[in-house]
Amino acid sequence: MLFAQLEGYLNQLLQKALAEGLNLPESIVSGIKPPFLEIPKEESFGDISTSLALKLAQALKTSPKETAEKLLAYLDQEIPNSCLKDFIEKTDIAGAGFVNFHFSKEYFYSLLKQALINAKDYFASKSKKTKKVLLEFVSANPTGPLSVAHGRQAAVGDALCNVLVLSGYEVTREYYLNDAGNQINILGNSIHLRLEELSGERIEFPDDHYQGDYIIALARELLEAQQTTASVEYCKEYGVRRILEIIRKELNDFGVKFDSWYSQKSLEKSGKIEKAIALLKEKGFIYEQEGALWFSSTKFQDDKDRVIVKSDGSYTYLAPDIAYHQDKFKRGFDWLINLWGPDHHGYILRLKAALLALGKEKEALNVIIVQLATLLRAGKVISMSTRKGEYITLRQVLDEVGLDAARFFFLMRRTDSHLDFDLELAKQQTQENPVYYVQYAHARIASILKNSKVPPSQIQEADLSLLKEKEEINLLKAISKFENCLRVAEIQLDPYCLTTYLQELAERFHRFYDSLRVLVEDGGVRDARLALILGCKNIIALGLKLSGVSAPEKM
């Protein structure tokens, strides 16, 4: 039985207890809905608990502890006659009135057996979700190499896609290519000026142009191709094409592959922007003022109305974005997820307002802000400026620390939290390095299994009831928590918990290994412990795969 199933049955039983165990009137029962359960922070408080008694005490006009005792009496009567009887070992009351549930060893054994066979199939959703998901992430302007911030977005977005696919969603990864607009014009002019400079002309290079060495490199490519008289327009098209080639290569080397690349230029040529504006106008949400077209976003809780077409006839950023998101729905997607940088935080409400005006549900779009990452070397922050070209690129990070460390480290904090990326730590081949620590656990288990010479079929038939030692049970419990980790990642749309969980699981394994021998003389105990670590290995491998990190068999 999966944790979600067990939790579901417990919630049903608690709902039933409101009327039958606590004799609450229907008027109160109808207003109390699950979920009632939470995972305690301390293991001494059980594997799952409920604070329902604390919430109901006032309605019952009794103390929370008295309410908990009534609730517990009912549960102790019902659990032995339910499908939970083999999985709940005991119940108790803690604190002011928390009711705690302690799972039986049989429950943990059943989870381990499934993890032994095929962890991915076991944890994959047994039913496909009805929503088609479009997850748009990275979407960096093709005006320069990918930055560390883009690297974090790429790692988060790809891992989140992996989790959602495992959860049963049909997911499409999309990169929105900002290949039109003022920034692209500045790119073309930056390359053109550097080309003139390389050709021997004296130039004045504006401060608001792109300063990086890559601009000079692109200009030199044109010079070597004898394109010394190339126009600004040609430089622009060449720059976008070459930078996009670099971005694609960097993402591929980072293990991130997109299903779709959507061009802003193609969007503008399609007439979809004009159609989106016309539809908003038809619905009464567009008005003209001072020669510009305004969207009445204040009707949808925005703090002010927004210009979408300027008085000179050019679009603001909002106009193509509205058309782009409308087109996402027209392509058959039900749920849109965008990963944006913190500089776009104020932009969320106006885009959601536009989609509401077009008749979409509020929940149809989720925007996740991925906070910035700071690089540290020798404990000191590396200062960076994108416009000045003074920054370390994703490529440089990859070359310095490697793919696995980069992918893992970028996931080590919640997306809404700033991330400190310690380059020196990421390179260490010691257990101080989190990714090394997790991978070493996997490799160590692989070595033990190989040296045991016990066939996998024999390990799968091991008598798991022989696992009774404290560190064995602790490792069993750690394995069982993987399902909840996946569920948290899905619900919160944040895969950071994968790295947290994997470190905790690796720690449990290392403690187990340091305390108990696996290859003991007693064949039954040996096989049971081999089964335990094989299940652990399979979970680590799956968690690393979801994170975009390899699971080495030896180190």
pLDDT tens string 462-472: 999 999 999 99
Q: What's phi and psi for 200, nearest 5 deg?
A: 100, 0
> Region 341-359: what's the mean pLDDT?
95
Q: What is the DSSP string of 248-276?
A: HHHHHHTT---SEEEEHHHHHHHTHHHHH
pLDDT tens string 492-538: 999 999 999 999 999 999 999 999 999 999 999 999 999 999 999 99
Quick check: do 3-103 and 430-547 share a fold? Answer: no
Helical segments of 453-522, H only: 456-460, 470-480, 482-492, 496-515
Model confidence at 540, in pLDDT bands (50, 70, 90)? very high
Specify whether the CB–CB gap between 111 and 477 falls below 8 A.
no
30-34, 196-200, 360-364: segment of lowest average pLDDT: 30-34
The C-alpha atoms of residue 149 and residue 138 are separated, in whole angstroms, by 9
The C-alpha atoms of residue 50 and residue 219 are separated, in whole angstroms, by 65
Specify whether the CB–CB gap between 476 and 467 falls below 8 A.
yes
Model confidence at 56, in pLDDT bands (50, 70, 90)? confident
Residue that the structure tokens 């039913």 belong to:
127
| Cα atoms found within 13 Å of the Cα of residue 522, Cβ hemisphere only | 10
What is the pLDDT at residue 126? 66
56-60, 168-172, 351-355, 452-456: segment of lowest average pLDDT: 56-60
Q: What's phi and psi for 132, nearest 5 deg?
A: -95, 125
> Region 353-381: what's the mean pLDDT?
95
What is the pLDDT at residue 42? 87
* AA identity, residue 489: A
54-63, 75-84, 268-277: segment of lowest average pLDDT: 54-63
The answer as to CATH 1.10.730.10 being correct for domain 430-547 is: yes
Specify whether the CB–CB gap between 264 and 183 falls below 8 A.
no
> Region 307-318: what's the mean pLDDT?
96
CA distances from 87 to 11, 40, 104, 165 (A): 15, 18, 5, 29
16-20, 346-350, 426-430: segment of lowest average pLDDT: 16-20
If one compares 415 and 19, the residue with the highest pLDDT of the two is 415
CB neighbour class for 406 (10 Å; exposed up to 12, middle 13-18, buried from 19): buried
Domain boundaries, the chain: 3-103, 430-547
Q: What's phi and psi for 139, nearest 5 deg?
A: 45, 40
> Region 135-143: what's the mean pLDDT?
97
What is the pLDDT at residue 390? 61
Chain-centroid distance of CA 385 in Å reads 27
pLDDT tens string 20-33: 888 888 877 777 88
What is the pLDDT at residue 393? 93
Specify whether the CB–CB gap between 540 and 499 falls below 8 A.
no
Paired residues of 400 in beta bridges: none
Specify the DSSP class assigned to residue 316: P
Quickly name the fold that domain 3-103 has. Gyrase A; domain 2 (3.30.1360)
What is the pLDDT at residue 423? 96
What is the pLDDT at residue 386? 56
> Region 132-151: what's the mean pLDDT?
97
pLDDT tens string 474-486: 999 999 999 999 9
Model confidence at 241, in pLDDT bands (50, 70, 90)? very high
Q: Please, what is the average pLDDT of the chain? A: 94
What is the pLDDT at residue 388? 58
Model confidence at 184, in pLDDT bands (50, 70, 90)? very high
The C-alpha atoms of residue 420 and residue 549 are separated, in whole angstroms, by 19
